[in-house]
Structure 1
Amino acid sequence: MCRASRGSRAGRSRNCATSASAASASQRSHCKPATSPTEIAALQRHDVDLERRTVAVRRALAETRTDGILLKTPKSAAGVRTVAFPASLTADLAAHLDAYAEPGRTGLVFTGARGGQLRRNNFRRLWLRALETTGLGDVHFHDLRHTGNTLAATGGATTRELMQRMGHSSVRAALITTPLPRLRD
């Protein structure tokens, strides 16, 4: 998603966050994220378990004019969750962690343009660059969340499972992000 130069990584220039490789992985219909941009920005290496194929969502990024960038808990208690990912994504995620994530247990999985915390003011610009690189077209990041929830629902997930996957605390929110009636028409 962004280009960063890291002195600690032999000064090489790197694509990171929703890099071309990450966006390419998202092209696979079964690899749509169940996390929001604010949750992705807060992911640390120890949140990703490649053996169990899970990502623990424990934090979200908040950015305010008065306090700057803050790490906080997700919006609701339901937002703290563990999300499974398919085996087909394991190799891509391992390669991303090796090439782009910050080192160390608490290193950020996705970084901003200058190697620091992702910022909301440049996320869209960087996301659009990744879309252009991969040829995905006009896709909003949240479209991936909605698509992932819809695929889980068509695969047999219950409303409760959809709520847990997306971190929603209400049935209404889960149903809004799962446009199933249009699929059945």
Structure 2
Amino acid sequence: MGSVSPYSTSAGRRYRVRYRRPDGTQTDKRGFKTKRDAELFLASVELTKAQGTFLDPSRARVTIGELGPAWLAAKHAALKPSAYAPLEVAWRLRVKPRWGRVAITDIIHSDVKGWVAELNRQLGASVVIRTYGVLASILDDAVHDRRIALNPARGGKIGLPKKIASRHVYLTHRQVDRLAKASGDNATLIRTLAYTGMRWAEVAGLRVHAIDFGRSRIWVTQNAVEVGGEFFEGTPKSHKIRDVPMPPFLRDELERRVEKLPRDALVFPSKSGTFMKRVRTSAHSKSWFKTAAEAVGVPSLHIHDLRHTAASLAVQAGANVKAIQRMLGHASAAMTLDVYADLFDDDLDAVSNALDRSRAAQLGSDA
């Protein structure tokens, strides 16, 4: 048990509480005006120690700026460079400038809510959600470390924006063919993206040895992600390795492309022989892809729309949801249905028509 003892100050008598932390080290807290306040504090300390919820006041005297680097280091070790980079930017540009010098015990929910409202006026939904998530996650760690009892960034209505999903763009076979021809030397690249559903980073990192021409399969085992102008080779998104089918026409086209290349060569290298940079499709850019998209009358087309196109063309060809899920590397068929629900509208028509036929058959027999 701890102890309560009085001491004199210029402002009058005060009380000191001496107690031991759960690790056995001794500490004290001064400044109580009454003995009863000191005894209540000591009782609360002993209760939290017994319950395993003890918070060491000395560990709470820390700022967000002091906790942030360790949090970032843990994320850097656990995440791919492409996933880590946006978090580092959010910390450096938005979280640290606002909260870096603020002690974690001084942060209150309404301040966080006001900060999020300010971000909403300046930034898009994805950036706001990511930025808020950095602060909230740092404070989550502070709770787990027993620095604070509750996370002031969690709970209540914080005012986070809703992400609005953009409408998918699906090309027809004819449009894909026109886009490929307008892309010149990149025609095979366009067809590969539109008929396999591979992500850009997966195609950029594709090497000859990953193509099984005998089975008409591409083994997606690695990618090449561009982050800040630097490329990082690694496993595909979510570390999911998969095999992707190739239509015979694409298999033959790829076989002609790589027949004289060594097994470890990139299938789609840049002109300098290194990884191909992701094409830009902003209003201010004039990449080969944007030029081709404008030439075929789809100026708003993005390179990722070719992945959506692959899903659409597969559905039109009669592929089942499970096969499309495997081709795209989704975690589950449910995810594929969620992402591409609009592609299965005809299935709803089929259900209604089947119900109509079933009703007519039964009522007709009753008559």
- Structure-1-length-normalised TM-score: 0.69
Q: C-alpha root-mean-square deviation of aligned residues, in Å? A: 3.0
Which deviates more, 122-131 or 82-91? Answer: 122-131
From 20, 23, 36, the counterpart of 2:187: 20
Between Structure 1 and Structure 2, the one with more helix by share is 2
- Residue 111 of structure 1 deviates from its aligned partner by 1.0
Identical counterparts, % of pairs: 27
Change (3 A) 1:144 1:179: farther
Identify unmatched segments of 5+ residues in structure 2: 1-183, 282-286, 350-367
Contact kept in structure 1, 2:196 and 2:327, CA below 8 Å: no
From 311, 327, 341, the counterpart of 1:149: 311
Q: What is the distance in 1 between the residues matched to 2:313 and 2:216?
A: 18
Determine whether 1:173 maps to 2:331. no
Deviation track 1:126-165 (CA, whole Å, cap 9, x = no partner) reads 42345467x4743322222212212222333332222111
Which deviates more, 170-179 or 109-118? Answer: 170-179
For 1:35-46, list aligned pairs within 5 A: 35-46=198-209
Change (3 A) 1:22 1:75: closer
Q: What is the distance in 2 between the residues matched to 1:96 and 1:140?
A: 25
Contact kept in structure 1, 2:204 and 2:269, CA below 8 Å: yes
Which deviates more, 151-160 or 48-57? Answer: 151-160
Higher relative contact order (CA closer than 8 Å, sequence separation 6+): 1
Contact kept in structure 1, 2:195 and 2:247, CA below 8 Å: no
Which AA in structure 1 matches 2:270?
A: G
Select the structure of larger CA radius of gyration.
2
Determine whether 1:108 maps to 2:275. no
Identify unmatched segments of 5+ residues in structure 1: 1-14
- Residue 170 of structure 1 deviates from its aligned partner by 3.4
Which AA in structure 1 matches 2:318?
A: G
Change (3 A) 1:104 1:141: same
Determine whether 1:96 maps to 2:257. yes
Q: What is the distance in 2 between the residues matched to 1:145 and 1:20?
A: 15
Instruction: Report what 1:119 is aligned to.
Output: 277
From 59, 63, 67, the counterpart of 2:222: 59
Contact kept in structure 2, 1:59 and 1:74, CA below 8 Å: yes
Contact kept in structure 2, 1:110 and 1:118, CA below 8 Å: yes
From 237, 249, 256, the counterpart of 1:75: 237
From 197, 201, 204, the counterpart of 1:34: 197
Q: What is the distance in 2 between the residues matched to 1:26 and 1:137?
A: 19
Instruction: Report what 1:47 is aligned to.
Output: 210
User: What is the SS of the residue equivalent to 2:214?
Assistant: coil
From 138, 160, 164, the counterpart of 2:326: 164
User: What is the SS of the residue equivalent to 1:169?
Assistant: coil
Q: What is the distance in 2 between the residues matched to 1:114 and 1:48?
A: 23
